[in-house]
Chains A and B, each alone.
Chain A
């Protein structure tokens, strides 16, 4: 059995359109200081630092070695995992492994993204993620893949565009309660329906923005966590599954289940969960486009194809609903890529601690489901819990 691990410190910067006032490293430092302050720890208490960003998105390689001073990695252990959009969630899973191994007591994990600084370009970079001989000439970045998945879903289920608009409006309402979200404005159904079509069926307001920001968490072993805080959030479990068929999955040509379905099956089996929507209280999802929120609800929660729209219509996923999804406003309200996945875990932990302020969900949160996604379909799926058992 892995050693028990808890989240004992949470920090994030505002996820913003621009941060001209700081460098990338200074921005990471803001999140690190916030997390340490929340944990009431000093950088001296940290044994290892795990960090990530997307190198070619940002125009910066070896970011872990560059940011040593600012993230407090000096003379400490650590590593840089990098799994595309999944990175923020991967560093969480890697940091969990560090502590669960028993070799490290207190680990700092920090992810961030600042594409505006040295001329990175995420969509140009994403195109290089596919095979240069066959796919690269006609690949259109993240947007193209997400659009194919949405298009296939509409063809299969006849899901009307109004459902996607409603889901997006719910996310906007959630984001208005979250002071750290990037896109914080009232959005109406009409706004969404009238926003420019990027690639069918994805409209501008369906997509996540490009944000600048950072998130940091402090993870600790059971013994340390109990001393550090009286409200630790326990990491019940976390799984990683990778689906290698990049375009095959997104275009629906893969005969295999999605990485989400495999991850959910593995996680729920290992933790004895048979009815996820009844046993789990909230789901902070990595939803890079609102269509994917709808589709992936069905993948993760073992819902029948085409049933998620009804749940959204009934208000089940709202902050005061029976099964709130992304009460933070989700990835469509802020997407600073190296931080995004980690922010999902941070937000779920805030909900469990009842520290989410204006975007706190109405119901009591004892068990939260958290997902990360990116690259060629990497899924990280975790369970955070209020109680230790």
Chain B
């Protein structure tokens, strides 16, 4: 890369059900905060923010071309603004590409979603292939249950091991003031919760959530000027898997393996567990933290259960995973990956408060979109100590 790109600041809302705000008001909360924190303005002369990227989804928002509702609040009026229907990590990726392409130096990325104002299962059903899959009622939950079964059966992963993900993450959430569903739980609590789609129980699943995030990226010379705590994007890659669950090896996550290997190569990482200090990943359902950990190379295929049991992924462990509490403690889809980016940046700046991982220098971020983690994005972040 000719130009190095850094994240210069981040902002997020508290996650939860938010009947008190209209969608654009929700989106404006982190935008207002990040503008205040950075003192940056939307300018045309290269002294402030040059462009905007918005991530949101029409069906989740209940509006067509729903990015339009973020334009006013994200500085899009009569300016360069792009809109993506993808997880927030892809928004960060695209903002970086815009900077590398050279027309913009400083780009604001905003993602927002208000799951509570719609019926998630109907929305998800609209996002599967319409002729064969939609008519059988497939949604993200039932597809995930198929994947969980395939994964747990092939590798002997137990419901208790999945429950431990919930216990760890909702426990971590108690340390994160932005998290939605923080709780001190036992394995019995999780295993006694309602069965949604076997083997996924209510507590294995993330709650309905509303929220928004904002991130500002800048090219190296401006990043250094605007902040003394830049967080550098050292590696980034995304990858699609096939759509039909029957066409895929659901117990593996081929697209995540491909994306993470590309991102590691770009960042010069050869031993992820040794070199990475903190991981934030998108586990919509508990089994996904184990499966995604395998895809990210934090353990060998099939070893995700042992990984959680080892305690390595707890705060204070060798490689903490989701010290923020993760998706399972409540983040909306679309926004989920951006929340991971925000949390990664807070960790690398030493600003994560009670869930801070001591001395974090390199963070691994994962975001996903589509059924069974079909589209995966991996980002490696580093602070100045982690190396530009």
Question: A101-B100, A241-B80, A257-B78 are contacts. A59–B238 as well, Cβ < 8 Å?
Answer: no
* Residues 65-94 of chain A, each 1 if its beta carbon lies under 8 Å from chain B, else 0: 111110001111111111110000010011
Tell yes or no: B241 within 8 A of A by CB: yes
Tell yes or no: A231 within 8 A of B by CB: no
A-B contact pairs, 6 of them (CB 8 A): A55-B126, A56-B64, A57-B64, A68-B240, A239-B80, A244-B68
Distance of A69 Cα from B241 Cα, bound (Å): 9
**From residue 45 to 62 of chain A, which have CB atoms closer than 8 A to chain B?**
49, 54-57, 59-62
**Segment touching B, from A125-133, A165-173, A181-189, A299-307:** A125-133
Q: How big is the B interface, by class? A: 35 or more
Inter-subunit contact B239/A83 (CB<8 Å): no
Once A and B bind, how many residue pairs between them come within 8 Å at the CB atom? 185
Inter-subunit contact B78/A259 (CB<8 Å): yes
- Other-chain residue from A54, A77, A90 in contact with B82 (beta carbon distance below 8 A): A90
Tell yes or no: B303 within 8 A of A by CB: no
- Other-chain residue from A55, A96, A257 in contact with B85 (beta carbon distance below 8 A): A55
**From residue 13 to 31 of chain A, which have CB atoms closer than 8 A to chain B?**
23, 25
Inter-subunit contact A61/B123 (CB<8 Å): yes
Closest residue of chain B to A125 (Cβ to Cβ) is B64
Inter-subunit contact B254/A75 (CB<8 Å): yes
Tell yes or no: B302 within 8 A of A by CB: no
**Segment touching A, from B35-43, B198-206, B336-344, B366-374:** B366-374
**CB neighbours of B175 from chain A (8 A):** none
**CB neighbours of B86 from chain A (8 A):** 64, 79-80
**CB neighbours of A56 from chain B (8 A):** 58-59, 64
Tell yes or no: A242 within 8 A of B by CB: yes
Inter-subunit contact A242/B71 (CB<8 Å): yes
Tell yes or no: A197 within 8 A of B by CB: no
Tell yes or no: B94 within 8 A of A by CB: yes
Distance of A2 Cα from B101 Cα, bound (Å): 5
Distance of A378 Cα from B81 Cα, bound (Å): 9
7 interchain residue pairs of minimum CB distance: A65-B370, A101-B100, A61-B127, A100-B101, A62-B127, A84-B65, A244-B71
Tell yes or no: A251 within 8 A of B by CB: no
Inter-subunit contact B128/A79 (CB<8 Å): no
**CB neighbours of B76 from chain A (8 A):** 242, 244
**From residue 149 to 164 of chain B, which have CB atoms closer than 8 A to chain A?**
none
Inter-subunit contact A55/B59 (CB<8 Å): yes
- Other-chain residue from B65, B80, B131, B134 in contact with A376 (beta carbon distance below 8 A): B65
Inter-subunit contact A103/B100 (CB<8 Å): yes
**CB neighbours of A98 from chain B (8 A):** 97
* Residues 347-389 of chain A, each 1 if its beta carbon lies under 8 Å from chain B, else 0: 0000000000000000000000000001110100000000000
- Other-chain residue from B81, B96, B131, B369 in contact with A118 (beta carbon distance below 8 A): B131
**From residue 51 to 81 of chain B, which have CB atoms closer than 8 A to chain A?**
57-59, 62-68, 71-72, 76-81
**CB neighbours of A374 from chain B (8 A):** 65
Inter-subunit contact B64/A54 (CB<8 Å): yes
Tell yes or no: A298 within 8 A of B by CB: no
> Of B63, B90, B101, B374, which is in contact with the most chain A CB atoms at under 10 Å from its CB?
B101
**From residue 102 to 121 of chain A, which have CB atoms closer than 8 A to chain B?**
102-103, 117-118
Tell yes or no: B217 within 8 A of A by CB: no
- Other-chain residue from B64, B67, B82, B102 in contact with A100 (beta carbon distance below 8 A): B102
Tell yes or no: A97 within 8 A of B by CB: yes
**CB neighbours of B1 from chain A (8 A):** 102-103
* Residues 235-254 of chain A, each 1 if its beta carbon lies under 8 Å from chain B, else 0: 00001111111100000000
Distance of A83 Cα from B244 Cα, bound (Å): 27
Tell yes or no: A256 within 8 A of B by CB: yes
> Of A23, A74, A77, which is in contact with the most chain B CB atoms at under 10 Å from its CB?
A77
